[in-house]
Structure 1
């Protein structure tokens, strides 16, 4: 047995499939499980000439019959999507903005050539038996960096909830790339997607305990929901984020309020005052301000005071300011209600037109 890293074009796989030299369903493989959204996203990756993960296939050479067959070991969902699009059976959607509504036949000749000539990175396992295939993957996994919960969810889920949250995180890249609400380093590990998930959760189920296990539980609970379910949530998320940037980006982007834990609390306070969301323990005592609107002048004054106290505390000039409780809560486990509630309620009261 030998393993050979190579690249093959999309047209190679289409040709092998047409000649029945490609087996997408060996005994150890699942059937087709990808949603249309996942398929379209892959085709968009190819049409934009962006990289995709390696495909592993086992090549069986029969010297007697002088034939060769290829069994896909890892990557069959990707190849099924590619073959489906090449056969004209997949129409692109909004997951491929430049090519929305098009099938392969609708593409310009230049784009068809880009698709057909796209190089797929492959590892070819020649005459490997099943035990050797398992050994290879065990070794590959032993060198891997442990995936984050966000990466694991992105790999596991194919339902609309995944794409609704992922698309929002992509389109709000200004928050990560320019403002650093989540650092670029952490965004590579998809922690920006986790924060975006909490934006959605705030409107959908209310603001409470967070953290990765809670986010995963939310994904599981919403697996059956359609794309339409998330559209009004996304509209509210966009509106709140835009209002925060319009009013606060210029003066507060360098303050702790544009770091993920406090930005989430800021988002929740503005969301509650602007639209409201399901009440819970965290909203006890501030329900009268629900959806009453935001006094941005009062908000800016309060944020400036808290930011100044953050700076004073950092410089060891004292920890007994007016907003010491907010600062203290910011240092504790920031995904627990015990930390979120005092910060959320302080901002709701301070931002309201009827300051309690």
Structure 2
């Protein structure tokens, strides 16, 4: 078996399919069915925006007696089928394509059509291989693949409005998460940033609570087809993160940017401005309609972060420090952190 790295433009791929020189071999596909509409739309938007996607694998053989190359797609059926269907005008892009929503291929501007057709698809061409060789190749590749974590599972299962909304928030605020080092690069690659946004949404939906994969999956499922709170939640999260970026920028180098502390900061700011379900009943601190109520708020937050960094258990912030050290994603610790942060915001 020989493997050669290559690339093929969308135009070349479509031409080879139209001439019958390339086909999809369903025998190697794990899921021969088509992707859901939202997934197909997001994939085409990926191409139109010039972002990469995983390579496809092509088995090339010679067709006798003409000695003409003949190719089979052995991995990448959904991607290739989606590209061909879109080029033939079989579906329009959905709302998860911000720039091209509602457009079929023929509705695109000429420059966008050229960009689509000239997009280079990365592919590996397999030659001199039998079926057993290809199956062994995939077994070996899968042996080195990390199991999906819960966030990755959700984003491979759902393709609806809530997933798109999480992605949009990350498109808008991903730079903050990266620049402030709220999550590691590895964590972002494993979609911990998507989980962070989903946890903020969970607090907006049901208040401060312990996180579980089941609760977050329920949220994705509930708002998959209809998401009436989308605009309200977007506005609240955007305003809050903008406030952090501009008015609390000096917190960037402190322990308040630890992911669990940052989540508590965001949720506390949202509560102080608009309210979080059930939180006032538990900690007896009510919303004020503002993000902060004292000019000393930053210094108070910095004191919390400093105590956390130094694990200072002899300071007035002992309970806050303990809530940061142990069980950082459990409801009791989250409530303690919210209590201290809100008191800092209100000057209590």
TM-score (normalizing by structure 1): 0.83
SS at match of 1:304: helix
Cα distance, 1:71 vs. partner?
3.2
Label 1:210 to 1:53 Cα distance change in 2 as closer, same or farther (>3 A).
same
Alignment of 1:206-217 (within 5 A): 206-210=207-211, 213-214=213-214, 216-217=216-217
**Correspondence for 2:303:** 308
Cα distance, 1:111 vs. partner?
3.2
Q: Is the 8 A contact 2:57 2:74 kept in 1?
A: yes
Q: In the comparison of the two structures, how many residue pairs are matched? A: 347
Q: Is the 8 A contact 1:2 1:125 kept in 2?
A: yes
Question: Runs of 5+ in structure 2 lacking a partner?
Answer: none
Question: Residues 251-291 of structure 1, C-alpha deviation per residue, up to 9 Å, x if partnerless?
Answer: 42322223321111111122223333332xx66533561x4
**Correspondence for 2:267:** 268
Question: Residues 18-44 of structure 1, C-alpha deviation per residue, up to 9 Å, x if partnerless?
Answer: 234443362453344423333333323
Label 1:221 to 1:147 Cα distance change in 2 as closer, same or farther (>3 A).
closer
Q: Is the 8 A contact 1:247 1:296 kept in 2?
A: no
**Correspondence for 1:337:** 331
Counterpart-to-counterpart distance in 2, 1:165 and 1:95: 11
Alignment of 1:1-356 (within 5 A): 1-24=1-24, 26-29=26-29, 30-64=31-65, 69-93=70-94, 95-126=96-127, 128-210=129-211, 213-214=213-214, 216-219=216-219, 221-222=221-222, 224-228=224-228, 230-249=230-249, 251-279=250-278, 284-286=281-283, 289=286, 291-294=287-290, 296-298=292-294, 301=296, 304-308=299-303, 310-311=305-306, 314=309, 319-352=313-346, 355=348
SS at match of 1:114: helix
Q: Is the 8 A contact 1:3 1:124 kept in 2?
A: yes
Q: Is the 8 A contact 2:323 2:334 kept in 1?
A: yes
Q: Is the 8 A contact 1:294 1:352 kept in 2?
A: no
Q: Is the 8 A contact 2:10 2:121 kept in 1?
A: yes
Label 1:283 to 1:136 Cα distance change in 2 as closer, same or farther (>3 A).
farther
Cα distance, 1:165 vs. partner?
0.8
Q: CA RMSD in A?
A: 3.1
Counterpart-to-counterpart distance in 2, 1:58 and 1:326: 59
Label 1:137 to 1:228 Cα distance change in 2 as closer, same or farther (>3 A).
farther
Question: Runs of 5+ in structure 1 lacking a partner?
Answer: none
Cα distance, 1:14 vs. partner?
0.7
TM-score (normalizing by structure 2): 0.84
Cα distance, 1:172 vs. partner?
0.8
Label 1:65 to 1:330 Cα distance change in 2 as closer, same or farther (>3 A).
same
Cα distance, 1:99 vs. partner?
4.0
Cα distance, 1:228 vs. partner?
4.5
Counterpart-to-counterpart distance in 1, 2:307 and 2:205: 37
Q: Is the 8 A contact 1:179 1:258 kept in 2?
A: yes
SS at match of 2:90: coil
Cα distance, 1:200 vs. partner?
1.3
Cα distance, 1:147 vs. partner?
4.5
Label 1:99 to 1:73 Cα distance change in 2 as closer, same or farther (>3 A).
same
